[in-house]
A = this chain, B = another copy of it.
Amino acid sequence: MRLRLTPREDSFYDMFADSANNLVTGARLLVELISDGTDREAIAEKMRACEHAGDEATHAIMRRLNESFITPFDREDIYRLASLLDDVMDFMEEAADLVVLYKIDELPKDIISQVEVLERAAELTAEAMPRLRSMKDLNEYWIEINRLENQGDQVYRRLLAKLFSGDYDALTVMKLKQVIDQLEEAADAFESVANTIETIAVKES
Q: Is A151 an interface residue (CB 8 A)?
A: no
Interface majority SS on A: helix, strand, loop or mixed?
helix
Query: From residue 139 to 190 of chain A, which have CB atoms closer than 8 A to chain B?
Result: 157, 160-161, 164, 166, 169-171, 173-175, 177
Query: From residue 5 to 61 of chain A, which have CB atoms closer than 8 A to chain B?
Result: none
Q: Are B63 and A202 in contact (CB under 8 A)?
A: yes
Q: Is A62 an interface residue (CB 8 A)?
A: yes
Question: Which residues of the partner chain B approach A177 to less than 8 Å between Cβ atoms?
Answer: 174
Q: Is A70 an interface residue (CB 8 A)?
A: no
Q: Is A109 an interface residue (CB 8 A)?
A: no
Question: Which residues of the partner chain B approach A173 to less than 8 Å between Cβ atoms?
Answer: 171, 174
Q: Are A164 and B174 in contact (CB under 8 A)?
A: yes
Question: Which residues of the partner chain B approach A67 to less than 8 Å between Cβ atoms?
Answer: 202
Assembled-state Cα–Cα distance A97/B102 (Å): 28
Contact with B along A84-108 (1 / 0, CB 8 A): 0000000000000100011000000
